[in-house]
Amino acid sequence: MDKRTFLKTSLLAGAGAMLLSKTKVLGETIASHNEPVPFPQAPLPYPYNALEPHIDAQTMEIHYSKHYAAYTKNFNDAVTNLKVTATDIKDIFKETSKYPAAIRNQGGGYYNHTMFWEIMAPKAGGEPSGELASRINKDFGSFSKFREDFNKASMSVFGSGWTWLLEKDGKLVIATLPNQDNPLMDISPVKGKPILCLDVWEHAYYLKHQNRRAEYIEAFWNVVNWKKVETNLG
Ligand code: MN3
């Protein structure tokens, strides 16, 4: 091994060892890793075209490889520059108000998309079952009423934002939040445990649906991975 290769290898090994199995984002999903950044970009759990025809491949590719990649990079840069020591992203979000805006915007973009990829899947959709189904029935009356409320909320987002199903004091609640905010952040007017989320930024649907957001929301229901969503319950 020449000197240059040795240096490069040692640097990589050092960074890896330092960060191994440190950070937590969504439970254990990407908790154990050996990446040269504290919060690694989560792999997309399916190919770009897997959610066709509901979510088109080009949108998925740009959304994942450009938008999400940028949030991930910028969030890691911010965490590194600010010398953030918390390793669970929830602990960082609990103190969002104490940090510069990069933690709120880039960290939110990182977390929200990481969750968004997971709660979708090919050959999914339909209706939830088990505990999630009964909790939805209890708190919204029925699944169709829940869907109607979630659709209405998603349509009401002015500008960029997300729709959330969250658990708050044991109850399931729908909320919309602007930009990349999420219910784990101390600055959020509605706080709780995120269960399901929908990105209603135009970049999430414009290529295929242009200004027809309602059409995109309808398409989303065909790819919701309810089995995964159920595991998000507390
Ligand atoms: Mn997005």
- pLDDT bin (cut points 50, 70, 90) of residue 65 is very high
Q: Cα of 16 to ligand 1 centre, how many Å?
A: 29
Q: Cα of 197 to ligand 1 centre, how many Å?
A: 11
Q: Cα of 8 to ligand 1 centre, how many Å?
A: 34
Domain ranges of the chain: 3-43+56-118, 130-231
Q: Which residues fall inside 5 Å of ion ligand 1, going by CB?
A: 199, 201, 204
Q: Cα of 32 to ligand 1 centre, how many Å?
A: 25
Residues in the chain, overall count: 234
Overall CATH class of domain 130-231: alpha beta
The domain made up of 3-43+56-118 is a member of CATH 2.40.160.10: no
What number of other Cβ atoms are within 10 A of residue 153's Cβ?
A: 18
Task: Specify the 3-state DSSP secondary structure of 132.
Answer: helix
Distance of CA 205 to the CA centre of its chain: 16
Using one digit for the tens of pLDDT, what is the confidence trace for 169-227?
999 999 999 999 999 999 999 999 999 999 999 999 999 999 999 999 999 999 999 99
Q: Compute φ and ψ for 187, nearest 5 degrees.
A: -80, -10
pTM (2 decimals)? 0.88
